[in-house]
Amino acid sequence: MAERLEAQQRTNRGLSYRMFGEIADPADGPDDPALPAEVKVRDLLWARLRITRGEIRRRFCVAARIRPRRTLTGPTLPPELPALGAAVEAGDVGEDHITAVTRALDELPAAVSSADRDDAERRLVGYATKQDAKFVTVIGNKIADCLNPDGNFTDEDRARRRSLVLGRQRADGMSRISGFLDPEARAYLEAVTAAVRPGHRLPETPAGRAADERDTRSSAQRCHDALKRALRYGISSGKLGTHRGVPVTVIVTTTLGELDQAARAICDPGVEMPAPARTGGGSRLPMRDLIRMAAESMHYLAVFADHSARPLYLGRSKRIATTDQRIICYARDRGCTRPDCPESGYRSEVHHALDWARGGTTDADNLFFGCPPDHAAATRGDYLTTVTKEARLAWSDGTGPPRVNHIHHPEELLGDEEDP
């Protein structure tokens, strides 16, 4: 019974990929926002299937590689990976096999001939129909060693493999980072790490401690401090340009009460340190770090009256109206305002609640954050948006009452005013 269920599941997965292949736009620009039809289909799938946009994109990508390729003109082309496509269609391989085979083929260097590549695909799929995905990965590594015994990799191979993944912030405020640096990035990191050699450039020298005091940092800690130092200098140089109209810098929001309490806590150990402030990326920044950062370079700091969206103070290096309005969006909305959308402020655009074309002004009370797909959907009229009396943007798709997004306001998620 278990075997039959597994086979059934694999057959269904094959049918799913066939369906994704059928509905994909033949003009096939995976992330091209200029294709409203495809964007519409993706939005529809996302809303109806309740799977993530990333998963939808992944299924379209796999379908595009294992299904026959349609062209706008001319005949249908065979799939890029015909052997894998046939095995998926027959229900002989599972999702983990598909991942193992495509990853092994993608790892092959660009210098490998297409005949060798096709042969490798057939062999990998052959093993995938008889063994588990782990075994397929091992075989994939062996094939790569065989086809590229001298380890010849081109610049394109390296460009394809470079990656840096910033993990989610843990409860203690730390974040795991992992990935692969290309030789140039490594050269830079080595250079800045060498500059924080033992005994030099302590990250911070608290009062009463000499700068030449013995440095007890491990090499891993020095590498971390070097990267932090390089990023800080990069940001304070002001040469990183602008991001959506605001100079690239750290944006932090807090309330006056918390800032005041933090300032007292630093001087008086009897005062409790308030909860961390929030960055435009949606992460938590301890108040002690915020005050130190604000003292040494120009970041954007928005301070709010307690329990309200009324800005009291905007610290900034230069006064630009649009910049101020965007910072108010960071502070009030923290991220996309569509209900249940988790996109952070750094990834949001400014949406005019009352459309510009219909007489909307650019006053901050009329401007709200929306991530690019939601902003586009609201502009198209897929949603009706209204401003609540708390000066928040409420969205409705016509099937229910307008709702505001609580995702970026965890204190509201646990409130009992509204069901999720």
What DSSP element (H or E) covers 372? Answer: helix 372-380
- E strands in 45-152: none
Q: Which is nearer to Zn ion, 290 or 377 (CB)?
A: 377
Of the residues 98, 371, 393, 404, which one makes contact with Zn ion according to CB under 5 A:
371
Stretch that binds Zn ion, among 173-181, 263-271, 315-323, 332-340 (CB under 5 A): 332-340
Asked if 104 and 124 count as a contact pair (C-beta separation under 8 A), the reply is yes
CB count within 10 Å of CB 197 equals 12
> What burial class does residue 351 get, using C-beta atoms within 10 Å of its C-beta: 0-12 exposed, 13-18 middle, 19+ buried?
buried
CB of 389 to Zn ion, least distance (A): 23
CB of 341 to Zn ion, least distance (A): 3
Of the residues 104, 259, 336, 378, which one makes contact with Zn ion according to CB under 5 A:
336
Q: Which is nearer to Zn ion, 149 or 381 (CB)?
A: 381
Q: Is 333 in the site for Zn ion (CB under 5 A)?
A: no
Q: Is 407 in the site for Zn ion (CB under 5 A)?
A: no
CB of 338 to Zn ion, least distance (A): 5
Q: Which is nearer to Zn ion, 144 or 336 (CB)?
A: 336
Beta-bridge partners for 396: 384
CB of 337 to Zn ion, least distance (A): 8
Q: Which is nearer to Zn ion, 68 or 372 (CB)?
A: 372
Q: According to the 3-state scheme, what is the secondary structure of 305-360?
A: CCCCCCEEEEECCCCCHHHHHHHHHHHHHCECCCCCCCCEHHHCEEEECCCHHHCC
Of the residues 341, 353, 377, 404, which one makes contact with Zn ion according to CB under 5 A:
341
Distances (CA, A) of 327 to 70, 127, 253, 366, 412: 46, 55, 9, 14, 21
SS3 174: coil
Q: Is 338 in the site for Zn ion (CB under 5 A)?
A: yes
Of the residues 137, 343, 366, 378, which one makes contact with Zn ion according to CB under 5 A:
343
- As a whole number of Å, the CA-based R_g of the chain is 26
Q: Which is nearer to Zn ion, 31 or 172 (CB)?
A: 31
Q: Which residue type is seen at 158?
A: R
Q: Which is nearer to Zn ion, 258 or 374 (CB)?
A: 374
* Residues at the interface with Zn ion (CB under 5 A): 336, 338, 341, 343, 371, 374
